[in-house]
Amino acid sequence: MGAHLPAVFRRPAVLWTALAAALAAAVITVLVVVPGADDDVSYLDLDAPVAGRVADLLDRMTIEEKVGQMTQVAVPAIEATPSDITELGIGSLLNGGAEAMHDTPEAWAEMIDGFQSAATASRLKIPMVYGIDAVHGNGALPGAVIFPHNIGLGAAHDPDLAAQAAAITAAETRATGVHWTFAPCVCVARDSRWGRTYESFGEDPGLAVEYAGPVVQGYQGEDLAANTSVLATAKHYVGDGGTAFGSSTTDDYLLDQGVTTLTEEELRSIHLAPFKAAVDAGVGSVMASFSSNDLGGGPLKSHADSYLINDVLKGELGFDGFVVSDWQGVDQVSEDYAEAVRTSINAGVDMVMVPFEYRRFIDTLVAEVDSGGVSEERIDDAVSRILTQKFALGLFEQPFADTTGAADIGSPEHRQVAREAAAASQTLLRNENDLLPLAADASVYVAGSGADSLGRQLGGWTASWQGGVEAVTEGTSILAGMREVAPNAAITFSENASEPIGGADVGVVVVAEDPYAEGVGDAGAGAHDMAVSEADAAAIDTVCAAVDCVVIVVSGRPIELTSHLAEVDALVAAWLPGSEGAGVADPLFGAAPYGGRLPVTWPRATDQEPMNVGDPAYDPLYPFGFGLETA
């Protein structure tokens, strides 16, 4: 989603209770019909072909109702006036980011069912679809399992494991009443200074191609209508990982929302290929990118690129789902709002993440249709695509939340898969004198900002857009994981290494980035600079000068380490391992092997970026694909 997203939304003031339940019951009575009971309303016939149901419903809709279906609104914009959902036929809602608006799945379901009651009380009783950024677990729900971010999954080189993570995420998300996730990101990160690097499976398109299909299928399952499936979104279309440093169209960010300059052949081979894999896997939606592409004729916003959306994505690749804009992405196409809307819709954007001024958007698009700026045929195409996915999700038959899976959220079985994924992602970069794995009864001195910080190991898009150092979800820190995996080890912890090291056999320093997401996380844009913090650097110096030491790096991308490695005996890239810190400890103590391989090039210095495998002058600290193994 978008970089203009507010970091914190207020908790909804409107909680639908008895009235919502009554409305829900009434609507279910109307929606769930006996096939053939009313031959004049074939779109409500459960046994009718989806294409026929869509066509029948479309024929009954006014232009205003059609445009309403193309409108996605943020909950804070409509929570005080939910009747607007009914009046305007709003097609979709989102809460924005991974904002933890409620603490329980039942509270989430109650909120969403209230809005769904308003949607299904409209003239044609069309349910809305609710989207969220469940990009590595349902980060909006405290207690849900959080998996490693994509860069860690890419390091594991196990698409089937990533598909399991997606399937569990889908189940833990659908159980709250949410139908749609804005994932997976199939971007190919070509400059690690980009704040979204950790959302990429790696710098080589082959990785994203390998993962895209299985992960899409993991989210969507065999049946989208199942209470364990969610609609997936391949994002961000297209070229977002290739933007040039300093080319951003906003003043705040140096890479996000920038320009990707390359030939069409390069765009296709590097950035388009993963989208083809996602489309081939049946992905239901694609999100347009904030960025622009310059294929030789000057920069063009992805939201305005008819050739890439209409001709290539929908035509050549055969994508039959719907294209959703990013957060206020349409607004960036032109300072003239009517022109921005007209251009984006004609370019192939089907649903617009408005997300606040929804009446303005609806009025503007209706006026564009009335004036001939946008054809009704284009509107019908967009709405048909949206309705098709709503039918596939089973929303007309079961619009309200099925929370029967809520008991499995955060279950030991789900956490075990996340632990396996974290362990598989651990990438061993140095192991002098076979220091690792550590003995199960070793005396270990632990330091560093990432050792006992669940928030840091979760990273961005967890509980809020940018994440936070103070975690608001359940999980096991790396330190706690070490104590769990090696209960016979003597473990002493001092974050800043101020306590005496004494007779420790070995030191483990866990250095970490503070959490971030796109824009704010661009290196050079603010506090995030791909460097070891002064406190963590001091901990490395202190511990590694005293005993044999292991440095574990918790980060969403490579960070500059060269000047800190003189006394380091073993080095591990832990990426952003998620909620199960025991997965980091498993290979550390030999309970699982090290086998991860670098999904991105690790530079000697940040100013070497962008640097990717195959570049003419390729001189990294560690190359793409590197990783030591242990038995």
Domain boundaries, the chain: 18-34+62-407, 426-608
Q: What is the pLDDT of residues 85-140, one digit of tens each?
A: 999 999 999 998 888 899 999 999 999 999 999 999 999 999 999 999 999 999 99
| Band of pLDDT at residue 12, cut at 50, 70 and 90 | very low
How many Cβ atoms sit within 10 Å of the Cβ of residue 570?
A: 25
Q: Which of 84, 172, 326, 522 is catalytic?
A: 326
Q: Is the Cα dihedral 269, 196, 382, 27 positive or negative?
A: positive
Q: Taking 60 as the threshold, does the pLDDT of residue 8 lie above it?
A: no
Q: Taking 50 as the threshold, does the pLDDT of residue 441 lie above it?
A: yes
pLDDT, residue 35, reads: 34
| Band of pLDDT at residue 14, cut at 50, 70 and 90 | very low
Q: Name the 3-class secondary structure at 41.
A: coil
Alpha-carbon distance of 185 to 171, in angstroms, equals 19
What pairs with residue 185 in β-bridges?
235
* 326 in active site: yes
Right CATH for 18-34+62-407 from 3.30.590.10, 3.40.50.720, 3.30.365.10, 3.20.20.300:
3.20.20.300
Query: Vertex 459, ends 161 and 407: CA angle to 5°?
Result: 60
Burial of residue 28 (CB within 10 Å: 0-12, 13-18, 19+) is: middle
Alpha-carbon distance of 312 to 387, in angstroms, equals 22
Q: Residue 469 is encoded by which pair of tokens?
A: 């150092």
Q: Taking 90 as the threshold, does the pLDDT of residue 486 lie above it?
A: yes
| Band of pLDDT at residue 524, cut at 50, 70 and 90 | confident
| Band of pLDDT at residue 26, cut at 50, 70 and 90 | very low
Q: What is the pLDDT of residues 213-257, one digit of tens each?
A: 999 999 999 999 999 999 999 999 999 999 999 898 777 788 999
**Percent of the chain scored above 70 by pLDDT?**
94
Calculate the CA 426 to chain-centre distance.
21
Q: Taking 90 as the threshold, does the pLDDT of residue 39 lie above it?
A: no
CATH architecture of 426-608: 3-Layer(aba) Sandwich (3.40)
pLDDT, residue 96, reads: 85
Q: In what order do the strands lie in the sheet with 506-512?
A: 427-431, 570-575, 548-554, 506-512, 443-447, 490-493
What does DSSP assign to residue 276? H
| Nearest partner of 514 among 538, 499, 531, judged by Cα | 531
**Mean pLDDT score of the chain, rounded to an integer?**
93
Q: What is the pLDDT of residues 152-179, one digit of tens each?
A: 999 999 999 999 999 999 999 999 999 9
Q: Is residue 574 a contact partner of residue 440, using CB atoms and an 8 Å limit?
A: no
Q: Taking 60 as the threshold, does the pLDDT of residue 29 lie above it?
A: no
Q: How far is CA 424 from CA 186, 208, 430, in A?
A: 20, 17, 17
Q: Which of 133, 203, 518, 522 is catalytic?
A: 518
pLDDT, residue 1, reads: 62
Q: What is the pLDDT of residues 305-317, one digit of tens each?
A: 999 999 999 999 9
